[in-house]
Copies of this chain bind each other. A is one copy, B any other.
């Protein structure tokens, strides 16, 4: 961390600052310029509150040099993390297809979709039991019953399950599931992150709708600092002024994350675009950019789906996506 101090600074405040820095176990390295004094902090600055330092009257500016995330940081863990769920691997040269309906609606529906996406190439089943909905009047998911039906679908097809958790209160319901998902709206639900981090399960951590890459990695750090090492980051579009897609898929986040972290990165083109016919080109782009997988909404009868129908493919369309993405994967040297 570099602190730029004003030229005409109050000496007692300056001494105060130096003592405070010392009390944090940090050393300083000072260089006097013409109009300002530049102070470098040497040591672990991840606990230093940059906003607090900036607020001091004698401070002109502050800049963090070290990234504030540690366990997620590739600098301290150069090899890719590979998350293993039974036989399925996410990260490290493979590409995972995760597919399923927006919401679990019935036993017949979820088993039918599970079988269909498995046949088309999916390795993991997704499906919403607890559904975050903008309106209190909209369908909120089958909840406990939805979890039960997902486990039935696993029994029938053998596909591991990923589904979203919305509250600490529900943690016991998620014990038999394979992967717990933290949704975009909960990316900074820190109490939930801490509780889920203690579960000992792989977690899909979706990016918040207006989260920076760094904030996202800090949320991964919350999970990791509680003992969860298998965090899968899922880019699902960010909010911008553009309206031709529901959100704007930040495809650059894939190479940016590959550089900053060792954690696997997947892409959700269904929520990013909100339009089923853009899922194929965006999945191919994700594969080409280096993503470790895609999470795609597939429904056996999209126009009848109870939510998010606009972004759901039919199983035969999903099969077509898989076929074309597989061609791209060969071109970029990734295994399915």
Residues of A within 8 A of B (CB): 2, 4, 13, 29-36, 38, 40, 42-43, 46-47, 49, 51-52, 54-57, 60-61, 63, 65-66, 68, 130, 132-140, 166-169, 185-186, 188-192, 194, 209-210, 212-215, 218, 221-222, 225-226, 238-245, 248-256, 258-259, 272-274, 276-278, 281-282, 284-290, 302-303, 305-312, 324, 327-328, 330-332
- 12 more A-B residue pairs beyond the given contacts A34-B42, A35-B66, A52-B303, with a C-beta to C-beta distance below 8 A: A29-B31, A52-B308, A56-B309, A57-B303, A136-B190, A238-B248, A241-B241, A251-B282, A252-B282, A258-B281, A288-B328, A328-B331
Contact with A303, one of B56, B239, B288 (Cβ below 8 angstroms): B56
Cα–Cα distance between A255 and B277 once the two chains are bound (Å): 9
> Cβ of A47: which chain B residues have Cβ within 8 Å of it?
137-138
Please determine whether A188 and B222 come into contact, CB atoms closer than 8 angstroms: no
> Cβ of A286: which chain B residues have Cβ within 8 Å of it?
285
Instruction: Using CB atoms, name the residue of chain B closest to A192.
Output: B167
> Cβ of A136: which chain B residues have Cβ within 8 Å of it?
190, 194, 218, 221-222, 225-226
| Most chain B beta carbons < 10 A, residue from A136, A282, A330 | A136
Q: How far apart are A252's CB and chain B's nearest CB, in angstroms?
A: 5
Please determine whether B278 and A282 come into contact, CB atoms closer than 8 angstroms: no
Cα–Cα distance between A309 and B13 once the two chains are bound (Å): 15
Please determine whether B213 and A210 come into contact, CB atoms closer than 8 angstroms: no
**Given A63-B61, A134-B188, A190-B166: A282 and B306 interface contact (C-beta under 8 Å):** no
> Cβ of A43: which chain B residues have Cβ within 8 Å of it?
34
Cα–Cα distance between A287 and B49 once the two chains are bound (Å): 32
Please determine whether B278 and A288 come into contact, CB atoms closer than 8 angstroms: no
Please determine whether A132 and B190 come into contact, CB atoms closer than 8 angstroms: yes
Cα–Cα distance between A52 and B2 once the two chains are bound (Å): 21
Number of copies: 4
Please determine whether A256 and B244 come into contact, CB atoms closer than 8 angstroms: yes
> Cβ of A312: which chain B residues have Cβ within 8 Å of it?
55
Please determine whether B51 and A221 come into contact, CB atoms closer than 8 angstroms: no
The 8 A-B pairs with the shortest beta carbon distances in the complex, nearest first, are A210-B210, A55-B310, A288-B288, A55-B309, A31-B31, A284-B288, A167-B191, A331-B331
**Given A42-B33, A248-B238, A288-B281: A65 and B55 interface contact (C-beta under 8 Å):** no
> Cβ of A251: which chain B residues have Cβ within 8 Å of it?
249, 251, 282, 285
> Cβ of A60: which chain B residues have Cβ within 8 Å of it?
65
Please determine whether A252 and B256 come into contact, CB atoms closer than 8 angstroms: no
**Given A32-B29, A168-B169, A191-B169: A244 and B214 interface contact (C-beta under 8 Å):** yes
Q: How far apart are A75's CB and chain B's nearest CB, in angstroms?
A: 10
Cα–Cα distance between A192 and B190 once the two chains are bound (Å): 13
